[in-house]
Amino acid sequence: MAQLLNNLFGGSKTTAKAIPTGDSDFADFADAPAPAPPVSPVDTTGTSPNLAARAPAVTGVPYTKWYNVHERHSLSEFRAEGIILSVLAVVLLLHLFGARLNRSKARKWARAHAGPLADQFALVGFEPVSPHAADKTGDELVQALAAANAARGDDILREKSLFEFATYATGRQNVAFVDVKLTLKKRFNPIVTFMEATVGFFWDTFAAPEDTCEAFVYPFDGKEALTVPGLPGAAELKAQGSKSAYDGFVWAIVNKERMKQYRDERYDLSITLTKDNPKLPAWLTVMTESAEITEAMLTPELIKAAEQAGELLDYLIITDQPVERPKTLDETAPRKRIFLKYRLPSSNDYASLVPLFSYFLSLPDLLVRQAHFRPNVTRALREVRDRLVNRIRKEAEDEKAEERALEREKAKKAERDAKLAGLDARQQKKYLEKEREKEMRKQSKRSTTRA
């Protein structure tokens, strides 16, 4: 009846419910129409107005970020690289600035000390001093000496490294040659300098970095004919006996703050006695082998120069002994040298140090004149050196005796092994028993003797 009424009055048709097949969750969307893309109005050129406005220069090519690096990347992505490059730039600037400071400090030392060197030596640096240069002073003298050395590509100071500079001088009576070495702080590497300063502050065995000058004078000591074979008058000097020789000894004035350090480091100073002298400033002491040597060497000129140098002076040493403790007889041969060491002032004002350096250069003349002592003094000096020679000779003889004993033991062992190899097992056992009995008799004899 319901169906008939629906047909007569035009009721809505009933629709059958779709039976889900497969996944029931998406059954409601099975008959949904596919979405259509929005249609943009197309201009006469065939491109979208929006795209045409954003990329007007490219006709018919869609816009993409690959054409704009600033939209694909930002500076924040390169933060690590920026930090690394910044650190490298700072390190490079510090390196260049520190190297420049060291070179400047070395040049200022050369400017202050070129005068005394040129006055006393015919060759300063690595070329002879010209007659015109000898009349100049200050910067003019340095430039003249540099011009003389420029032919060989050298300066007065030769740069061995960024913190080591050296110079050389020769051509003077009583002196074979002079070596000078400047050792400066590693200003081009602040990290290393800071670490060395920290270690030196906490441990006395490590020296803190300092700017120092070390000079070494090697006197002729009567060996002009051997050192300079072509020297005019060498034959006469050899026949008559050279006048540049003097008695060998060890004498020094040393800064008290570093006296113990130098005594431990240097063998020549270890054989001396330390005595304060009222003529010297309170920060200096004398290390000598004899009071007579101190009277001859401690001149008023030296006292005045030491006072002017102040506490920058580390030591002035006159020696004929090696710096390192000798281990062989060849190393005990006397080698006369003069050492000077002082620290460079931070202000680069060398007016107080130049007198000491000048006195140091002229010291061989004083030695030739006054370093000839009474026989009892030279006998005492010779006894000290003879004890060292005898000790080294005894050690060498003991070492040779020990080597000979080892060789005898090796020969006996080889003979025993060869003898055992020629015996059968029974004979070897009998031989070893006899050897054991013999060793026991020796031990019992030793014990009886000790009792």
> What residue spans define the domains of the chain?
156-379, 393-438
Q: What is the pLDDT of residues 321-368, one digit of tens each?
A: 999 988 888 888 888 999 999 999 999 999 999 999 999 999 999 999
Tokens 């050296």 identify what position? 166
- pLDDT at 297 exceeding the cut of 90: yes
Q: Counting every residue, how long is the chain?
A: 451
Which residues are bridge partners to 275 per DSSP? Answer: 286
- Nearest CA to 188 out of 94, 103, 104 is that of 94
Half-sphere exposure of 65 (CA within 13 A, CB side): 5
Instruction: Classify residue 256 by its DSSP letter.
Output: G
Quickly list H helices, 345-450. Answer: 354-370, 375-421, 425-450
Q: What is the pLDDT of residues 117-163, one digit of tens each?
A: 988 898 888 766 555 555 555 556 556 655 555 444 346 888 999 99
Q: What is the pLDDT of residue 8?
A: 47
Q: What is the pLDDT of residue 302?
A: 95
Pair 176, 168: CB distance under 8 Å? no
Q: Is 387 or 61 the better-scoring residue by pLDDT? A: 387
Residue type, 383: E
* Strand, helix or coil for residue 47: coil
Pair 189, 197: CB distance under 8 Å? no
Q: How far apart are CA 398 and CA 390, in angstroms?
A: 12
Lowest mean pLDDT among 29-38, 134-143, 164-173, 267-276: 29-38
Which residues are bridge partners to 123 per DSSP? Answer: 128, 170
> Degrees (nearest 5) of the Cα angle 245, 372, 331?
55
Instruction: Classify residue 130 by its DSSP letter.
Output: P
Tokens 């020629």 identify what position? 422
- pLDDT at 237 exceeding the cut of 80: no
* Strand, helix or coil for residue 318: strand
Lowest mean pLDDT among 143-152, 272-281, 284-293, 396-405: 143-152
* Phi, psi of 406, rounded to the nearest 5 degrees: -65, -40
- Nearest CA to 204 out of 245, 247, 274, 260 is that of 260
Q: How far apart are CA 341 and CA 185, in angstroms?
A: 16
Can you read off the two tokens belonging to residue 76? Answer: 């924040």
Pairing of strands 313-319, 337-343: antiparallel
- 222 pLDDT band, cuts 50/70/90, is confident
